[in-house]
Amino acid sequence: MLFPDDERQRQAYVARLWERFYPVYEEAKLGEPVGRSVLLSIMRTAAAVDSIDKAEIGTRYWGGMLAGEQLKVLAAIAQSQPNRASWNAASKLVAGQTRSSRAVLYRARGKFLPVVHLWAAYILRGQQFAGDAARGYTALDDIGVFVTEAMALLQWGTSFKLDRKGAEPILDRGTVDFWVPPPDWSPPAFRAGWPRDGRLGVPVLPEAWLRRVGTKPMKYS
């Protein structure tokens, strides 16, 4: 999510997260131990980059949040008034919320577009991942549910478009290589009592908010 445009840094960052997570994973017996060859590969990948600047991580996190907020707001507009839903309309509202310029929002969307559905799903779930032991819901279950939520957003975005000639989907698979899970991935087997079921509650915007984007459909972009 943080490095959609830099594969080398992305792999190193994920490898370092694994280095911290794996001892907890194995000690808690959350699943099968990872093979020695895999662990060696993770360590080599982590060592390939000298350091990952914390300031850069913070900047990238904020950029991802700005991109995800735009998709979240766009989906909310579509829930309320589909004929007004566009990236332009969403960025106009997000600019007011975040005090960010439209140019900054445009750049954030461009950089994080391949993973924008992940960021929007992350925002819609309150920016958190958590298990619930009392309900038999582990942190790994929650990650699986998060991916399910993000894929639902991607499916919506690749099918929704304005009802006019020549309009393209909000998320166009023909121009962007969106992140998707591996082909052998499958959603978790949902159980009664789990706190999440893979469905996201997209808000409906009040009329006062919709008036900020005008009474006519904004130019699609």
CA distances to 7, 101, 108, 200 from 97, in Å: 31, 11, 15, 21
Distance CA 191, CA 116 (A): 28
What is the 8-class DSSP label of residue 191? Answer: -
Q: Is 11 exposed, middle or buried (0-12, 13-18, 19+ CB in 10 A)?
A: middle
Count other C-beta atoms under 10 Å from residue 85's C-beta.
25
β partners of residue 137: 132
Who's near 64: CB < 8 A, 6+ residues apart? 1, 2, 108, 112, 115, 119
Whether residue 221 has pLDDT greater than 60:
no
Q: What is the mean pLDDT of residues 196-202?
A: 85
The pLDDT tens digits for 110-140 are 999 999 999 999 999 999 988 898 998 988 8
Q: Is 143 left (phi over 0), alpha (psi -120 to 50) or beta?
A: alpha
Per-residue b or e along 92-113, where b marks 16 or more CB atoms closer than 10 Å to that residue's CB: bbbbeeeebeeebbbebbebbb
Q: What percent of the chain has pLDDT over 70?
A: 77
Average of pLDDT values for 57-66? 94
What's the confidence (pLDDT) of residue 17?
65
Quick one: pLDDT at residue 217?
A: 38
Over residues 101-116, the mean pLDDT reads 96
- What's the pLDDT at 112? 97
pLDDT at 162: 83
164: which residues sit within 8 A by CB, 6+ positions away? Answer: 217, 220
CA 176-182-183 angle, to 5 degrees, is 100
For residue 3, the model assigns a pLDDT of 84
Q: Write the pLDDT tens digit of every residue in 33-54.
A: 666 676 566 566 656 666 677 8
Hey, where are the domains in the chain?
A: 1-52, 54-213
